[in-house]
Structure formats: C-alpha cells, structure tokens
Amino acid sequence: MTTALITGATAGIGAAFARRLAAQGHNLVLVARDTARLREQATELHDRHGIEAEVLSADLSTDGGIEAVEKRLADVRHPVDLLVNNAGFGNKGRFLEVSMADELTMLKVHCEAVLRLTSAAVAGMRERGRGGVVNVASVAAFVPRGTYGASKSWVVQFTQGAARDLAGSGVRLMALCPGFVRTEFHERAGMGTDNIPGWMWLDADKLVAAALTDLGRGKTVSIPDPRYKALMGLVKVAPRGLLGGVTSRTGRKYGPQ
C-alpha cells in the first residue's frame, strides 16, 4: 500500500486531498500545526477507510518544523510515494501594509519549505524509480499581485524546472494552480469575500479529483477548471496594468487554499 504525505492537511485543499487519497486506499502522513485536529482527522479517515493515518505536528514557518518533515520524508523504512505541499496562507493588506516579518514568513512557508520538502522526498523517489509531488500554487502565480503571487509563481517555475530535470526517472512533479476555493483560507487571513462573484468559487473535492487525474496524465502544471483555464488564457494577452487593477478589486489574495 502506498503512502502520501500532505502538509496543511486539516482544512481546505489539504483535507480534500486526504479524503480522496484515503478513499483510494493510500496510507497517510498528515502534517499541520494543530495536533488535536490532526488526531481527530486521522481517526476519522482510519475508521472510514481502513487506512493508516500518521500524525506529524509541524510548523513549516520554522526550521524545526521543516526539519521534522524532511526527516519523515527521508525515512527509507517507511517511504512516502506521494508528497502534497499544500501548506500556505495569505496576508491582508497591500505592499508596505504587511509587516516584513509576515512577508518573510510567507516566503519561508511557500518557497523554502516547498524546496526543502520536495528535495527530501524526490531523493528517495528517484532511487526507487517512482513517486509524485504536487506543489499547490495558485492562479495568482500568473498575475502581478504582491508577495503571495510572486511566491506562487516561484512554486510553478521551480516545479516545472525540477520536473524537466527528473524526466525519465519515474518521478512526476506538478504545480497545482486553483482559483478561489471554498475553504477557511480567507477567514483565517481576515479577508472579505463578498466582492468575489459566485461563479469564481471552486469545490475542493472536485478540484482534487481533477488534479490527481492531471498528475496521472503527466502534466507539470494543472489549472483544474475550465473557467480558470479560460481566464488564464485571457491573462496571457491582457495588459499587465489591467491585471493589476482587477486583482486589486478582488483583494490581495487571488487564489486558493
């Protein structure tokens, strides 16, 4: 039986990945900061699907938290076959309205943790000749919108480059780029969502199902919804200044989680 490790597993897209993979018979390593919530989730998934669900409490904004997950990914006795780097957050406010400490924490979680955990997982996967990594980015990666968008753009570029370097190894890497998803993300960041049209909201479970299909097809970038595929097609031809205005009206955070 294969094992999947999911960061940011207790809510939103991460929880949807956990539900889907458990239903498919994968054992899980669930990573988040809230130990009590992790244990409750692990028990529920074990009881419902008969899989083993391991709990790993870790704060990926700290070196100690990243190191704990790196150590688990490097465990050759209990290998991880699929890594889902989903942990992330948004900051409320424009550039210079957000503290430098919060901006740097975002880069730690969105970029450094993704780099280090992907590297830790892929080393063993390449030796075994199989495995997969899903790095959750956002459609914000394709529009000019602050540190969040820049960090997610890095995730996309990093994932595509690593996938190219690992071609033929049996290891698949994919950047997942959703739009707005109905999760706890915006509430946690203190962001209002009243100005976001209803048609722009995605269902986390459907999104994950489409993402796993794309991973199986060997895609390196997944925009798992026709509406957002069409929007991103327009982004390619729209003036950059216009895009900045649009994303300002929809809030600093233009994307998922």
Contacts for 223-229 with beta carbons within 8 Å, 24 or more apart? 223/139, 223/177, 223/178, 224/176, 224/178, 225/178, 225/179, 227/179, 227/199, 227/200, 228/139, 228/177, 228/178, 228/179, 228/202
Distance CA 192, CA 194 (A): 6
Write down the residue that tokens 């938290």 correspond to.
65
| H or E stretch covering 131 | strand 131-136
Q: Is 254 a catalytic residue?
A: no
CA atoms within 13 Å, Cβ hemisphere of 33:
9
Pairing of strands 53-57, 3-7: unpaired
Residue from 142, 148, 158, 228 carrying the catalytic annotation: 148
Whether 122 and 45 have beta carbons less than 8 Å apart is answered as no
Query: Rounded to whole angstroms, how far apart are CA atoms 103 and 243?
Result: 22
Q: What region, left, alpha or beta, does residue 120 occupy, with left being phi > 0 and alpha being psi -120 to 50 degrees? A: alpha
Distance (Å) of CA 145 to CA 124, 174, 222, 257: 36, 22, 20, 16
Catalytic residues: 148
